Copies of this chain bind each other. A is one copy, B any other.
Amino acid sequence: MNILILGGGGVIGQKLGRALLRRGHLRGRDIASLTLADVVDPAPVEGARSLTCDIADPASVAAAIPEGTDVIFLLAAIVSAHAEEEFDAGMSINLMGTLNVLNRCRALGTKPVVVFSSSIAVYGGEVPDPILDHTLLNPQTSYGTQKAIGELLLNDFSRKGFVDGRGFRLPTISVRPGKPNRAASSFMSSILREPLNGQEAVCPVTEDFAHYYLSPRRCVENLILGAELAEADLGQNRNMMMPGRMWTIAQLIEAMTAVAGPEPARLIRWEQQPEVERIVKGWRFDLRPEKSVKLGLSADDSFEDNIRFYIEDDRPRA
């Protein structure tokens, strides 16, 4: 079992790599090799190879996906606000990059498993709430558009037998460790992470803003479960929502206070940012996954868990 994580330098890629190595096996076979690839050399993970790969470049993709690659986690992407600002970069990485990976997998002729990270940013526009498994994808960002296209390609390449694809629309990941990134959702972690680290953070929306969340720990578990699913159980749509839960900003902060006391919440400054609001309010939050839940994927039990997971897994030691 040879595994490649594209986007292996990111938060989820790194955690996934470590979780796979702890586990030691996937799809009934021992893990013989694990490679983390990213556009800049990923942080080293003991037991894994690190590789530089630009998925916008077919030759670089071919080098990263040698013969004998069994499972590819395709997590690499230009995130939402970045793809909104730099349209061409988004098209090149998110759309053409995904196509390059699928084309390379097809050329292998061995039908590798491709686990694709889509996003709930595929939802928006003219669809009634709640969002069901068969709701139209009507994204209102370039990032969401490129992810929705990736899903369609994954389905068709799978239907043709070129890959064994499975795609998961990730909820907003919180509490995400590390630094803020260029995702419009970045604040949905930083208003918790920075205060839990004893630092100030800015909340650009009002406290009644509701959204759909999942912890990094549970996301990694779901991605591994997703890779394990039998192809026959995937049906005619290889893409599905990854389960999450809907919370308001007020509820996130209550959970933080319940776990870590009243101090962190005092470090949040409230400062509305119209450009961020415009993007995130176009997203949907009342999602009702049925297919993925039936297949065994799951959400966090409470947002207090998300806070605890951050403290246990990620908070920098003093």
Using a CB–CB cutoff of 8 Å, the interface residues on chain A facing chain B are 87, 124-128, 133-140, 142, 145, 148-149, 152-153, 155-156, 159-160, 235-237, 291
Provide the bound-state CA to CA distance between A159 and B141, in Å.
8
Identity of the chain B residue whose Cβ is nearest the Cβ of A156 in the assembled complex: B145
- Kindly report how many copies of this chain are found in the complex they form together: 2
The DSSP consensus for interface residues of chain A is loop
Least Cβ–Cβ distance between A21 and chain B, in angstroms: 35
Across-interface contacts of A87 in B (CB, < 8 A): 160
Provide the bound-state CA to CA distance between A156 and B159, in Å.
26
Are B133 and A236 in contact, with the CB atoms below 8 A? no
Provide the bound-state CA to CA distance between A28 and B135, in Å.
37
Residue A237 contacts which of B126, B142, B149, B237 (CB distance < 8 angstroms)? B126
Least Cβ–Cβ distance between A160 and chain B, in angstroms: 6
Across-interface contacts of A145 in B (CB, < 8 A): 152-153, 155-156
Are A134 and B127 in contact, with the CB atoms below 8 A? yes
Are A136 and B134 in contact, with the CB atoms below 8 A? yes
12 new A-B contacts at CB < 8 Å, known A126-B235, A136-B136, A138-B236: A125-B235, A126-B133, A126-B134, A134-B135, A134-B138, A137-B152, A139-B152, A142-B156, A145-B152, A149-B149, A149-B153, A152-B152
